[in-house]
């Protein structure tokens, strides 16, 4: 982002680099999942197609499975 002052970017980088590689990877995964969920929720809320955001449903649909509203227990 270009609107963040240089001294803030330097502090953010210093903080990021002070973490272990495992912590940085974990944080990346958590942030990526949160972004994915927010986009998926937005598309569902606005009636937009998921276009690859629901891979389990896509595979199920290709194999002919349907999601029943009643449980068959």
Mean pLDDT by groups of 10 residues along the chain of 73 residues:
88 95 95 91 87 70 65 46
Q: What is the pTM of this model?
A: 0.57
Q: Are 43 and 53 in contact (CB under 8 A)?
A: yes
Query: Can you give the pLDDT at residue 58?
Result: 67
Predicted pLDDT of residue 5:
94
Quick one: pLDDT at residue 24? 95
Q: How far is CA 40 from CA 31, 46, 51, 65, 69, in A?
A: 14, 10, 10, 21, 21
Q: Which residues contact 57 (CB under 8 A, 6 or more apart)?
A: 50, 67
Looking at residue 71, its pLDDT comes to: 45
Asked if residues 39 and 45 have their Cβ atoms less than 8 Å apart, the reply is: no
pLDDT attached to residue 62: 75
């Amino acid at each position: 982002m270009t609107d963040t002052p240089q001294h803030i970017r330097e502090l953010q980088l210093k903080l990021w680099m002070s973490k272990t590689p495992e912590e940085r990877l974990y944080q990346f995964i958590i942030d990526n999942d949160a972004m994915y969920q927010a986009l998926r929720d937005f598309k569902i809320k606005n009636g937009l197609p998921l276009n690859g955001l629901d891979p389990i449903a896509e595979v199920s649909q290709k194999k002919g499975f349907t999601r029943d509203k009643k449980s068959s227990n």
